[in-house]
Amino acid sequence: MGRSSQTATSTKSVRTPRLYVADCHHTQGEVVVSERNHHYLARVLRAQVGQSLVVFNGQGLTAEATISAISKKQTQITITGGQHTPDVRLPITLGLAWIKADRFDWALQKATELGVSAIQPMITAFSDSPPKGERLQKKEAHWAEILINACEQSGNNWIPELRPLCSIDQIETAIPTHVAHPGSTETATLLTGHQQLLIGPEGGFSEAEIESLRTRQVKPISLGPTILRAETAAIVGLTLLGSRLGHY
């Protein structure tokens, strides 16, 4: 899931590249872009001085910019106008069980397109064995890149918070939490405030996990009469709760 899939969009022109620039904190000024962005602009786009860009910092700031200097080693941009945009993310944290890597990646990308606020990868009784140590660090960097690419492509100026992998027992349930569980008789009703949605792995949640979640006031909800793959369930669940929150 590389940057080649990025769609360059802006209100200005469909051809204007849209880039995540973490260091962009002001509505104007000069910024030397990251190695990642330099590579994309210099090697992939073969951009020249004067090229227009749209940049965003993942925390709501979006700005127009122009390449002011480009060399083999670095690219400098001049930010010519910027604005802070409101946080329009879905007020939902997605707790997603660790599933096969390509499916997990897909769910992260789509959840970001939908504007999820936070993503909590989790280990459950029936989830695959997670990567550990350096492999986990690489995986988390890969996930962060997916979120950035999805924000670049979808016009989302707010990158979701990516939380460290944790066990289902460590999931914070102080906010209203729903666990998607096939066969539940409840569906989500009208909602207000920040919500959390838990999606299980291909083998589902164990009965002990569901019981333990119930004792923590977590409500099992149905996503319909058919069994959805975990990644489909994540997207359907976010859309359903988003609708109950009046977000759409």
For residue 225, the minimal CB distance to ligand SAM (Å) is 7
Binding positions for ligand SAM, 192-221, rule CB under 6 A: 199-200, 202, 204-205
C-alpha 88/C-alpha 248 separation (Å) is 11
Q: Does 95 bind ligand SAM (CB under 6 A)?
A: no
Q: Give the E-state strand segments of the chain in sequence order.
A: 18-20, 29-32, 52-56, 61-70, 75-84, 90-97, 116-123, 161-162, 166-167, 177-180, 195-199, 219-221
Other beta carbons within 10 angstroms of residue 12's beta carbon come to 12
Answer for which of 228, 239, 244, 247 binds ligand SAM (CB under 6 A) is: 228
- Total of chain residues touching ligand SAM, rule CB under 6 A: 17
**CB-based closest residue to ligand SAM:** 204
For residue 123, the minimal CB distance to ligand SAM (Å) is 14
Torsion angle of alpha carbons 8, 12, 14, 17, nearest 10°? -20
* CA dist list (Å): 167 to 155, 170, 211, 213, 219: 32, 5, 16, 13, 19
For residue 89, the minimal CB distance to ligand SAM (Å) is 22
Binding positions for ligand SAM, 125-184, rule CB under 6 A: 180-182
Q: Which is nearer to ligand SAM, 79 or 223 (CB)?
A: 223
Where does this chain bind ligand SAM (CB under 6 A)?
Answer: 180-182, 199-200, 202, 204-205, 222-224, 226-230, 233
